[in-house]
């Protein structure tokens, strides 16, 4: 069975602070994919990144960066110099290659609030 744990239920920071959202996963698949989604107050999920299990290279996209550590089964997400517009619920998700239908297993999400 697959499982994704986002231990941080809520995080509150002041604008311009850096913030890291944690994600720990469990899977028996040897090939799998990890995702991060953002859900702003409007409700629609916005795709941020997909990472496959063979690519442990960290990725940076503007103020966003992701740290994938297979040894600790973690896929953490860092926002540098946070802004009020970053306030949202962030979800980490997992899909196994052998999982039929390519369905995603989501974590419970982390509510990030960035205060001015």
DSSP for residue 25? E
Output the smallest distance, CB 57 to another protein, in A.
18
Distance of alpha carbon 89 from alpha carbon 46, whole angstroms: 10
Nearest to 67 by CA among 104, 24, 28, 99: 24
Beta strand 46-52 with 32-39: parallel, antiparallel or unpaired? Answer: antiparallel
- Interface with another protein in residues 46-65 (CB under 8 A): 46-47, 50, 52
CB 88 within 8 A of CB 38: yes
Query: From the list 21, 23, 95, 114, which residue makes contact with another protein (rule: CB under 8 A)?
Result: 95
Taking contact as CB under 8 A, which single stretch among the options 11-19, 64-72, 78-86, 99-107 is the one that binds another protein? 99-107
Burial class from Cβ neighbours inside 10 Å (0-12, 13-18, 19+) for residue 35 reads buried
Q: Does 13 contact another protein by CB under 8 A?
A: no
Question: Does residue 109 touch another protein according to CB under 8 A?
Answer: yes
Interface with another protein (CB under 8 A), residue from 28, 44, 61, 62: 44
d(CA 48, CA 50): 7
C-beta of 109: minimal distance to another protein in Å? 5
Where does this chain bind another protein (CB under 8 A)?
A: 32-33, 35, 37, 42-47, 50, 52, 89, 91, 95, 97, 100-109, 111
């Amino acid at each position: 069975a697959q499982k994704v744990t986002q231990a941080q239920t809520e995080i509150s920071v002041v604008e311009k602070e850096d913030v890291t959202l944690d994600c720990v996963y469990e899977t028996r698949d040897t090939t799998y994919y990890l995702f991060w989604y953002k859900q702003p107050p409007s409700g629609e999920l916005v795709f941020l990144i997909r990472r496959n299990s063979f690519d442990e290279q960290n990725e940076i996209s503007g103020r966003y960066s992701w740290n994938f550590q297979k040894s600790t089964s973690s896929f953490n997400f860092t926002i540098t110099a946070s802004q009020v517009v970053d306030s949202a619920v962030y979800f980490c998700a997992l899909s196994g290659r052998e999982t039929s239908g390519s369905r995603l297993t989501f974590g419970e999400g982390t509510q990030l609030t960035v205060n001015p």
